[in-house]
Structure 1
């Protein structure tokens, strides 16, 4: 099993191929839904405020699911006490 190097961002760690595949599948599903919402946004009788709210909640939901897979960690701050 390959470990894919994490982003050079604090809190992100290496991920397995399986985790990367899961998140990539989620991203594909999310994109399909977002394109459907884009099409809905072109209809004149759709309430754009509620559509925007729904879109935001869907995006937040996918982000939460992907975080549940990648499990980014909390980071140490320069102001934290040093513990050994």
Structure 2
């Protein structure tokens, strides 16, 4: 199984093809839901405040799921013991 190098960002690490595929699938599902919400936003009788709240929670949910898959590490700061 191929490991893909993580982003050059502190806390990110290499990821397997399976994990990348899972997150990419999640991103497709999320995009479909966000497009549904975009369509709902065009309706005149939709409460935009609640729609925005729901959208935020959905986005946060997908971020949490993807974080569960990628498992970024905590970052060491200057002065931390090695």
Q: TM-score range by the shorter chain?
A: over 0.9
| Counterpart in the other structure of 1:79 | 79
Equivalent in the alignment of 2:4: 4
> Over the residues paired in the alignment, what is the CA RMSD in angstroms?
0.6
Q: Which runs of 5+ in 2 are unaligned?
A: none
TM norm structure 1: 0.95
Normalised by the size of structure 2, how large is the TM-score? Answer: 0.98
Question: Deviating runs (4+, > 6 A) in structure 1?
Answer: none
Cα deviations across residues 9-39 of structure 1 (Å, max 9, x unaligned)?
A: 0000000000000000000000000000000
* Runs (5+) with no aligned partner, structure 1: none
Match of 1:40 in 2: 40
Q: What aligned pairs does 1:50-65 form with structure 2 within 5 A after superposition?
A: 50-65=50-65
Aligned length: 82
How far 1:79 sits from its partner (Å)? 2.7
Distance 2:4 2:61 in 1: 24
Work out the CA distance in 1 between the residues paired with 2:78 and 2:38. Answer: 43
